[in-house]
Amino acid sequence: MKPKLNASNAVAALMCAALILLPVYSAATGNIFILTLFTRIVIFALAAASLNLIMGYGGMMSFGHAAYLGIGGYAVGILAAEGIGSGFIQWPVALVVSALFALLIGSLSLRTRGVYFIMITLAFAQMAYYVASALSRYGGDDGLTVYKRSDFAGLINLSDRNQFYYLCLACLFGGLYLIWRIVNSRFGLVVQGVRSNEQRMQAIGFHANRYRLVCFVIAGTICGLAGALLANNTDFVSPAVMYWTRSGDLMVMVILGGMGSLFGPVIGAIVYLLLEELLSQFTEYSGLILGPVLLLIVLFARGGIMGLLGRMRRG
């Protein structure tokens, strides 16, 4: 499929260019805050993109996706606390543990559909939250400070604002590229086919759940990477990143930006976190405004912002 020149692709291209040039702007204007803010946004965009893989393409409404943010983060934090500072160990561990967790909860929750699936994924994420709260050795409720960012043997310095930002951005673009390949591959078509009509897919010879499970694990692993980035970004990890409202935030980003669109979650994360940031300067109750915005999007713009842009050209 060749990329077509339309509003949504143009916006996606502009967005990527802006994200790449952001550190230049930040350096030129001396505005460090915007770089810090966007580092966070890029990390959440990666998490949202991974959720989009199962939610948008796979039709699996996981309400526990933030669990992987915590698992990836704790993998980095706990290893750092135990004196293992190398990113070459921390990050693979973060990915593997996230994948195993996804395998465990996926193989149980994928036996169910619809509301039950949402509830089971939520329950597992909450369990992870309470387990983390009970880890008194690693800060328990108060969380765990990461005193030293992951060390990549001098290849890249994560404490350098610009380098870290570009690392996060590279992870985001890499993740999106991976998702794009997956979505158009044999595997991706099967997963989307199962979303569309599971009975039909079984009847033509696909063991639907096996494909869904693998997709679920891939998404969890990518989100685990976002978790490792997040812990390095905040130099801190706490059970709060796994709380169900965080999973809700990720869902909102995906729906806001456009489910089943590659760049939807990125624009969703940008809009959501920017709005949150802006509104928090005026009011404590940013939800009062964010809520109705989401409501309008869901009611009048199925397919989110990307869906709106896609319609503009035809409209």
Partner 1 sequence: MADPLLRVDNLVRRYGGITATDNLSMEVVPGELHAIIGPNGAGKTTLISQLTGQVMPNSGTIRFAGRDVTGLPSYKRSRLGLARSFQITSLLKDFSAIDNVALAAQAHDGHSFRFWGNARKERHLRDTARAALERVGLGKRADIMVSQLSHGEQRELELAVALATKPQLLLLDEPMAGLGVTESARMVALLKELRKEVTIVLVEHDMEAVFALADRITVLVYGRVIACGVPDAIRRDEEVKRAYLGEQHAVTRHG
Q: Which of 34, 127, 189, 294 binds partner 1 (CB under 8 A)?
A: 189
Tokens of 180: 């794009």
State yes or no: residue 103 binds partner 1 (CB under 8 A).
no
Among 138, 152, 173, 206, binds partner 1 (CB under 8 A): 206
Out of 38, 117, 164, 211, which residue is the one contacting partner 1 (CB under 8 A)? Answer: 211
Contact 226, 266 (CB under 8 A): no
| Secondary structure (3-state) at 135 | coil
Residue 1 engages partner 1 in binding (rule: CB under 8 A) = yes
Q: By CB under 8 A, is residue 248 in contact with partner 1?
A: no
Residue 52 contacts partner 1 per CB under 8 A: no
Contact assessment for residue 302 and residue 312, using Cβ atoms and an 8 Å cutoff: no
Q: In degrees, to the nearest 5, what angle opens at C-alpha 148 toward C-alphas 146 and 153? A: 135
258 vs 263: CA distance, rounded Å: 8
Considering only 143, 188, 224, 227, the residue that binds partner 1 (CB under 8 A) is 188
> Is position 193 an interface residue for partner 1 (rule: CB under 8 A)?
yes
AA identity, residue 285: Y
The stretch near partner 1 (CB under 8 A) out of 28-36, 64-72, 114-122, 180-188 is 180-188
Q: Which two tokens stand for residue 154?
A: 């001098």
Please enumerate in sequence order all residues whose Cβ is within 8 A of that of 275, keeping only pairs 6 or more positions apart, or say none. Answer: 286, 289, 290, 293
Give the C-alpha separation, 164 to 158, whole Å.
5
Distance CA 109, CA 89 (A): 30
CB of 53 to partner 1, least distance (A): 12
Smallest separation (angstroms) from partner 1 to the CB of 54: 15
Q: Tell me if 207 contacts partner 1 by CB under 8 A.
A: yes
Q: Is 4 in the site for partner 1 (CB under 8 A)?
A: no
200 binds partner 1 (CB under 8 A): yes
Binding site for partner 1 (CB under 8 A): 1, 181-182, 184-190, 192-193, 196-197, 199-208, 211, 214
